[in-house]
Each structure stands twice: as structure tokens, then as C-alpha cells.
Structure 1
Amino acid sequence: MRPIMLTPRLMALSRQVPRGARFADVGTDHARLPVWLLEQGVIEQAIATDLREGPLQRARQTAARHGLTERISFRLGDGLAPVRPEEVDVIAIAGMGGETIASILETAAWTRKGEHTFLLQPMTSVPDLRLWLAGHGFSIQREELIREGETLYHTMQARPGPMLALSPGEAWAGRQYRGMDSPWRTEYLTLLLNRTSRALEGLRRSTKPGDAERLEELTERYADLARMKEEWDKWQR
């Protein structure tokens, strides 16, 4: 059997799993990530969970094809309910919306204690997840922006701990720093600026009383994103 291949977004997650980690993949589906990590010798054992029996059965089949059934514990359950905190130190939660990821973390109170590392890859509601993490006892240690096909995906590494408040632009684009390796960031900041500009144009024509507050919010976001874009462009020179 040929070694399993990962898509770019799953490869982005794999790069953040340290060698020897006690790893759990929540919402594992086909179990491609834990199988790859085992085949590459990054980890020795893994836990793979899913809410539904169908995806979990597909995960078992993937592991069986690669001779790894005995090294993965397959567990049926909602979010982190099937996982005990003392079993793991690195947990991937990917392939679902940001609100669902936040709900999974909120339900498991132990996630806000200890030394666990969470590798999060929201498909939607990315700003909402950033703000939720910052307001609920998590610190985003790093982010990676990755392109797969025509879509840009966000991978966040979060741990329990205090975090500085996010500015309006940072909530949408993530925090940036000099020397950050992010080849898609210029494209993404431009995309966010264009979307915000179009939304502002519509709101400026609106006569609805409730839109005034929204207009102020988007104006602040646009100004902060423009500041971040200017700063980023300066760093790239």
C-alpha cells in the first residue's frame, strides 16, 4: 500500500504536530491525518473521533488498508466527549464551522486548563472563532494561511492562556508580525479590503436607522485592514 497523501490544508495541520505527541483528531472522517502522522513516524498512537458511525467506519477502513488499525483508537461521540484530557496533548479540530469548533471547546471545560495544544481549521465563521478564543481563555499562538484550489484556509494553533485583545482588522485577518511566512497574506488582505469596501458602499446608500451602527463598525474595520495592508507591504520590501 502506498503511503497516504494529504491535501494542502491537512498538510498544514500535520506540520504543527510535534514528534511524539499524544494526538487526537476530532471529526476525523477518513482518518487521513492520523494515518499520515503514523506512517511518517511523527506519532506512535492516535485517537480518532466522529459524531456519526458512517465517517468513523470510513476511518477504520482507511486505517485497515494501511495496516494501522491497532494503533488508532476509534471513538463515536460528540466533539471531545469521547476524549479524556490525560490521554492527549495535541488535538486537531478541522473540517467544520468556527461556531461548531467554539461549541466543542466550550462544552469541554478542561480545554481551558492544562497544557493542551489545539490545531483548529475552521471552514466558516473564522473571525467569530478568533474573537471567541480571545474572550474565553485561549491564546492564538500562530496562524497559517494555506491555499487549496481556489480557497484560502486558516489554521490556528491555540493554547489555554491570556491573549491581547484583537483589533477590528485582526479579528478578520489574524494577527501579523514582521518575518511572518505567509505567501497568501497580501492576496487575503486585498480580498478583505475589497469585500469591506463593497459592503460600505451599500450601507452608505442605506436609509435604515439600524445601519448607522453597522456603518461605523465597517468603517473601523476597513481603516484597520488598510493599516495592516500598508504595514505588511512595507515589511515585504
Structure 2
Amino acid sequence: MTSSLIISKRLETIARYCPQGARVADIGSDHALLASYLLVRGIASFVIAGELNEGPYQAALRQIQTLALRDRASVRKGDGLSVLRPGEVDAVCIAGMGGQLIVSILTAGTDKLEGVQRLILQPNVGEELVRRWLLENGWQLVAESILEEDGIIYEILVAERGEPVKPYEGKERSRDELLRIGPFLWEEKSPILLKKWQQERDKWQRVLSQLQRSRKPEAAERTRQIEAELEWLDEVIACLHTDKP
């Protein structure tokens, strides 16, 4: 296979965060496309593609077999970080799954993160859960990206061992708010971030409209909660509008 391997913009962005010459594990590897790209482009010195289920595992094996550099790749079947040995890789990518699942994988495999210098995480939902895990487990968020591809908005979180609270200090937003929004994304204030929170607001507005038609006694309390959420979202959106570069 030549260097013409084409991958999505999402995976390309993840690849840019992989340190040059690193040994990289991609957990839940989506046909080992990212792992292949990292080898073909000379970014990674060695890749491990981890898959839980037989079908994706076989697909990853087939993909790696097409590479001239397949001796620098290992496809492994197993749950999360269980496919790794401590000290075996420098960077771990976990992309394309929910934040709760990413947190579960990191928690279950903490011992396998020994020697890992960088985590590159792309939750499809639940970004706040991932940021909170990093904060509580000694990992410092060092970069974030937000991008839209095929109508879907993705956030990529990059962390290294360090001072977990540092990205959240000295900002005009509280730590809890920045865990939701993303401290680096808030600084950057891209149009895609504005779009994400406008979509979130629209979603809650629809929920509120349905609730207001409900006669259930618990609807009143839920209505108050959602109205408070909408108030917060309006304020965030207003700031993203006015501060937009």
C-alpha cells in the first residue's frame, strides 16, 4: 500500500496529535485505518490495533496485511487496554465511542497506562465525563479540537501527565462549565463550537415544549431544571457570538 491511504478528517486530526516516532495503540481501531495511516505516513514507529469483537478484529488483520510495514504492526483481540502490556506504547488513541465507555476503558486499564505519555480521545458523546476523568486521574488536558464531518460534530481531547487543574485556572468560566465546554475550545471560540451549543439548545427547547404539554406532577420540577439549562445555554451562546474572532 502506498502513502495514498485515505482516511476521514476526524482520523486525520487524531493522527496529527500522535507524537512523531511514537509507539501508538489504537483501541477500538475501526478496521485499523488510523494505525495503517500512522505507519504509512511515517508518524508512528510501531502500532497496535485493539479490537473486542471477531468481525472488526478480522477486518483490522486484513487491513494490516495490505501494508509493506506490517512487521511494525500488531492486531490484537481483547477488551479495551487489556491488549497492551505496561510500557509497550507511548500514546493511546481511543476514538469513536461514547464518553462513558472511554472512561470505563481507561479506568479498567489504568495499570496498562504505565509509560504512556499521551492520550488522544475522541468521544462521540459525553465529553464532559472524559475531561472529568482526566482531571481526577492525573492527566492534564493539553489540546482540544472540534470539527464537523458529514454533518456530525466531533471533539478530540489530548492529555499528558501533568497538572490536571492547570487548563481550568484563571478563566472567566467555572471549572464545571469548562468541563462541559472544553477550556481550549472556549478560548478558541470556533464557529463549530457555537453550532454545537446552538444544537444543544434546540434539543432542550424541544424537550421543554413536550414537557409543557404534560400534566404529570413531576413535569413542573423537570420544567424548572430545563429552563435553568436553557438560560445557561443562552448565556454561553451569547458569549460565543460576541467573542467570535
Q: Shorter-normalised TM-score: what interval?
A: 0.7 to 0.9
- Cα gap change, 1:181/1:215 in structure 2, threshold over 3 Å: closer, same or farther? closer
Residue 185 in 1 paired to residue 193 in 2?
yes
Residue 83 in 1 paired to residue 106 in 2?
no
Q: CA deviation at 1:209?
A: 4.0
Matched residues in 2 for 1:152 and 1:173: separation? 13
- Deviations, residues 76-119 of structure 1 (Å, cap 9, x unaligned): 11000111231112100112222211110110123677663211
- Cα gap change, 1:131/1:91 in structure 2, threshold over 3 Å: closer, same or farther? same
Overall identity of the aligned pairs, in %: 32
User: Paired residue for 2:150?
Assistant: 149
Q: CA deviation at 1:14?
A: 0.8
Structure 1: 5+ residue stretches without partners: none
Q: Which moved more, 1:128-137 or 1:118-127?
A: 128-137
Residue 236 in 1 paired to residue 244 in 2?
yes
User: Paired residue for 2:94?
Assistant: 93
User: Paired residue for 2:164?
Assistant: 162
- Cα gap change, 1:121/1:81 in structure 2, threshold over 3 Å: closer, same or farther? same
| Contact 1:45–1:71 (8 Å) recurs in 2 | yes
Partner of 2:56, secondary structure, is helix
Residue 7 in 1 paired to residue 8 in 2?
yes
Letter of the aligned partner of 2:98 in structure 1? G
Alignment of 1:49-128 (within 5 A): 49-110=50-111, 116-128=117-129
Q: CA deviation at 1:36?
A: 0.8
Q: RMSD between aligned alpha carbons?
A: 2.7
- Cα gap change, 1:203/1:130 in structure 2, threshold over 3 Å: closer, same or farther? farther
Matched residues in 1 for 2:131 and 2:194: separation? 20
Partner of 2:186, secondary structure, is coil
| Contact 1:167–1:224 (8 Å) recurs in 2 | no
Letter of the aligned partner of 2:197 in structure 1? L
Letter of the aligned partner of 1:177 in structure 2? W
Q: CA deviation at 1:235?
A: 2.2
| Contact 1:193–1:225 (8 Å) recurs in 2 | yes
Q: CA deviation at 1:217?
A: 3.6
User: Paired residue for 2:227?
Assistant: 219
Structure 2: 5+ residue stretches without partners: 169-173
| Contact 1:143–1:155 (8 Å) recurs in 2 | yes
- Cα gap change, 1:219/1:142 in structure 2, threshold over 3 Å: closer, same or farther? farther
Count of paired positions:
235
Which has the higher relative contact order, 1 or 2, with Cα contacts under 8 A spaced 6 or more apart? 1
TM-score under structure 1 normalisation?
Answer: 0.84
Matched residues in 1 for 2:134 and 2:224: separation? 24
User: Paired residue for 2:33?
Assistant: 32
Matched residues in 2 for 1:86 and 1:204: separation? 55
